[in-house]
């Protein structure tokens, strides 16, 4: 047993990460890993799990901004944004500009339209108080106030969009890093909470909270990657499935840790 323990603890970072997907004994042995290794494991796990979402987000925003830039140069109607609210000339209900390659640009100040009324896969909507972007089953919404669009007209918007497209790569890099930091912080908080619950599952095993924190962090490897990849690429999942999957992995990992022998059993062996 000591030889096996030493061999496992000497595994490389990537080997340990890979085996945390399916080997319960490796997950259980993570209780002996230095805390810095476990922290690094979580950071790398968040990166792998969030990769599809971050790529889709960057591609969607990049294409949407360039779509918006091309579309507004086709010819925008006269409108203005004052006090964070969109107003069309002659108080029209809505105006839609459509292009087979670029998608739809809709100005809907009265928010009369629903998703069923949109044409094409790529849609940009100037609603009453926000800009909404739909692409590849993903949606994003930003308020005019957040974008600094206040007391502006259609010509001002064209100028702002042209400026935005020029520094878009830098902006996307900053947004991606911020999102990654937020996700990493959320992951640490999640491990902390789940590890508290995992203390109830240790039975009579001599496991402290620091042990359960490391075991929980490694047991969540497969559930985290599976949940976020499926959610980003296939279908929306409820977080309860992620929680149940993580707890199941923790339970099976803890069960590989032998229970301490009773004094009577020790005396009989002697």
Helix (H, G, I), strand (E, B) or coil at 134: strand
35 part of a folded domain: no
Q: Please tell me the pTM assigned to this model.
A: 0.70
The pLDDT assigned to 136 comes to: 62
Q: How many structural domains are present in the chain? A: 1
Give the per-residue SS3 of 32-101: HCCHHHHHHHHHHHHHHHHHHHHHHHHHHHHHHHHHHHHHHHHHCCCEEEECCEEEEHHHCCCEEEEECC
In the 8-state DSSP scheme, what is residue 163?
Answer: H
Is residue 125 pLDDT above 60, yes or no?
yes
Q: For strand 123-126 and strand 103-107, is the pairing parallel, antiparallel, or unpaired?
A: parallel
pLDDT digits (tens, 9 = 90+) for 15-65: 888 888 989 989 988 888 888 999 999 999 999 999 999 998 888 888 777
User: Which pLDDT score, from 0 to 100, does residue 16 have?
Assistant: 87
Which pLDDT score is estimated for 118?
Answer: 65
Question: Does residue 106 fall inside a structural domain?
Answer: yes
How many beta carbons lie within 10 A of that of residue 36, not counting itself? 8
H-assigned helices in the chain: 2-9, 13-19, 24-29, 35-75, 154-166, 168-198, 209-219, 221-233, 239-255, 263-269
H or E segment to which residue 141 belongs: strand 138-143
Structural domain contains residue 95: yes
Residue 120 lies in a domain: yes
Inter-residue contact 253 to 219 (CB < 8 Å): yes
> For the segment 227-264, what is each residue's pLDDT rounded down to a tens digit?
989 888 887 778 888 899 999 999 999 988 887 765 44
Residue 229 lies in a domain: no
Which residues, listed in sequence order, are joined to residue 151 by a DSSP beta bridge? Answer: none
User: Residue 110 belongs to what domain range?
Assistant: 74-158
Per the domain annotation, does 115 fall within a domain?
yes
User: Does a structural domain hold residue 88?
Assistant: yes
Residue the block writes with tokens 């669009």: 149
Strand partners, 78: none
Residue 125 within a domain = yes
Q: Is the pLDDT of residue 266 over 50?
A: no
């Amino acid at each position: 047993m000591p030889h096996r323990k030493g061999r496992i603890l000497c595994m490389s970072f990537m080997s340990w990460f890979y085996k945390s997907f399916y080997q319960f004994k490796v997950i259980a042995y993570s209780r002996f890993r230095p805390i810095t290794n476990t922290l690094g494991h979580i950071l790398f796990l968040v990166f792998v799990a969030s990769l599809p979402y971050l790529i889709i987000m960057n591609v969607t925003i990049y294409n949407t901004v360039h779509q918006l830039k091309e579309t507004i140069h086709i010819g925008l109607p006269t409108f203005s944004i004052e006090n964070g609210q969109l107003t069309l000339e002659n108080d029209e209900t809505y105006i839609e500009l459509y292009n087979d390659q670029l998608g739809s640009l809709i100005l809907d100040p009265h928010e009369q339209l629903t998703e069923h009324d949109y044409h094409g896969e790529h849609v940009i909507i100037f609603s009453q108080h926000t800009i909404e972007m739909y692409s590849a089953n993903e949606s994003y919404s930003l308020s005019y106030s957040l974008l600094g669009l206040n007391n502006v007209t259609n010509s001002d918007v064209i100028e702002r969009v042209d400026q935005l497209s020029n520094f878009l790569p830098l902006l996307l890099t900053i947004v991606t890093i911020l999102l990654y930091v937020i996700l990493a912080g959320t992951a640490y908080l999640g491990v902390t909470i789940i590890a508290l619950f995992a203390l109830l599952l240790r039975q009579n095993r001599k496991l402290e909270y620091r042990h359960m924190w490391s075991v929980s962090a490694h047991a969540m490897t497969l559930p985290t990657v599976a949940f976020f990849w499926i959610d980003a690429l296939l279908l929306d999942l409820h977080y309860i499935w992620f929680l149940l999957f993580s707890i199941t992995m923790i339970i099976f990992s803890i069960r590989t840790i032998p229970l301490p022998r009773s004094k009577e059993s020790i005396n009989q062996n002697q």
